[in-house]
Structure 1
Amino acid sequence: MKVMTGAVAATLTFGALLSGCGAKVEGGDTSCKDYLAANDADQQTAVSKMLKDEKGTDAAQLEITGTKVSVQAFCQTAGKEDSKIKEAPHL
């Protein structure tokens, strides 16, 4: 029984470590550092969530794409690592 409990604990710990390795995506509160480190799908999720939080409805794909370009430019120029993506100019 102790071996089984140890194996379960090790599996859960390993899973927690893996899930913590990615960039933290929190919609508009995502930092530029985390946004730039995220993969394309996570960037899409962050921008989509930010726009939905602002407007209350899902944004059109064209708006999401345009906002991603704006956020990318902001984070690579005027934004700092701890700047939030919601600070980027967008419609």
Structure 2
Amino acid sequence: MLATALTATALLTGCSGTVLNKGGDTTCQDFAAADEKTQNETLNKMLKDEGKNAPSNIELSATRAAVVGYCKTLGSPDTPISKAPHL
């Protein structure tokens, strides 16, 4: 019984305790609430899913600025960050 409860907890929370990285499907609200490391991981996944190579630090910074600006102005909390104009 205890093993079943522990397994269920691990499945619900994830082994690492981090949120599943949804890349460009991440909402503006979730992106804004994430720390910088998680934001970078999310942006990396989004750009790779779009067929781009691993972005440089400058590209990550520019993409983050574009996403944050878009989410604060045109986007809503439920808007996916992939809708933000970016390189």
- TM-score, normalised on structure 1? 0.77
Q: May I ask how many residue pairs the two structures share in their alignment? A: 85
Question: 2:56 matched to which residue of 1?
Answer: 60
Query: Which sits farther off after the overlay, 57-66 or 23-32?
Result: 23-32
Highest Rg: 1 or 2? Answer: 1
Q: RMSD across aligned C-alpha pairs, in angstroms?
A: 1.9
Q: Does 1:47 align with 2:40?
A: no
Provide structure 2 residue ranges, at least 5 long, that are not aligned to the other structure: none
Q: Distance between the aligned counterparts of 2:61 and 2:53, measured in 1?
A: 16
- TM-score, normalised on structure 2? 0.80
Structure 1 or 2: larger helix share?
Answer: 1
Q: Distance between the aligned counterparts of 1:55 and 1:24, measured in 2?
A: 20
Give aligned-pair identity as a percent.
Answer: 34
Higher relative contact order (CA 8 A, sep 6+): 2
Distance 1:87 1:58, change over 3 A: same
Q: Does 1:17 align with 2:16?
A: no
